[in-house]
Amino acid sequence: MKKRVNQFASFFLCLAVITVFFTMPNINNINANAEDSAIVAGIKQFQTYINNNLPSEYLGTPLVVNGVCGSTTKIAAVKLIQYYINTTYGECLEIDGHFGPSSQIAFNRYKGVIRYRETGFWVYMLQGLLYCHGYDPKGFDGSYGAGGGTGCLNAVNAYKVTTLTSTRVQVEKLG
């Protein structure tokens, strides 16, 4: 039962991980453990994912795949979220790379929770953002516990323990 409660609490934290990343004003070198090869490799995979999934009309110049999660990666990640919400859910968000009130409302409307064993776009975003925060979800595979793996769940729980106060408030509000 304890494991199930822990997984349930982590569902709500996923929204907070993504939201805090997007609303942070300055994220240059946010990944404090940039020397950790797994973190750098994960950020590189995330940058490649963005390059491969955000049309060039919105991306502009492709991201340099360098394993550094700076402002260019943040802006591109926000654009990818906006593009995905528009094309998947029919919204008309401006794809500008700024996670403002309209993006926040649409995000909350369509993806408030990432469930254990979920796969796909939102999990890729969560895994990429965990890497950018310096947490290793043990793979960039778009899987949140599918196949029995717990790396993403463990990284979310580690993030939960050490995260910003504003995130904790948001998680409590959601729970």
Domain holding 124, by residue range, is 2-174
Dihedral of alpha carbons 99, 100, 101, 103, sign: negative
Total number of domains in the chain: 1
pLDDT per residue, tens digit, the chain (175 aa), is 444 444 444 444 455 555 555 554 444 444 444 458 999 999 999 999 999 999 999 999 999 999 999 999 999 999 999 999 999 999 999 999 988 889 888 888 887 667 777 888 988 998 898 888 888 888 898 888 765 567 777 777 776 655 443 333 333 333 3
Please name the helix (run of DSSP H) or strand (run of DSSP E) that holds residue 145, with its range, or none: none
For the chain, give percent helix, strand, coil, nearest 5: 60, 0, 35
Q: What gap in Å lies between CA 63 and CA 107, rounded to an integer? A: 24
Q: What per-residue confidence (pLDDT) applies to 22?
A: 54
Single pTM value for the model: 0.75
Q: What are phi and psi of 94, to 5 degrees?
A: -75, 130
Collapse the DSSP code of 113 into the 3-class scheme (helix H, G, I; strand E, B; otherwise coil) and give the result: coil
What the block records as the tokens of 133 is 């925060």
Q: What per-residue confidence (pLDDT) applies to 65?
A: 97
Please name the helix (run of DSSP H) or strand (run of DSSP E) that holds residue 144, with its range, or none: strand 143-144
Q: What gap in Å lies between CA 79 and CA 55, rounded to an integer? A: 10
Q: Which letter, b or e, does each residue of 44-72 get, where b requires 16 or more Cβ atoms within 10 Å of its Cβ?
A: bbbbebbbeebeeeebeeebeeebbbbeb
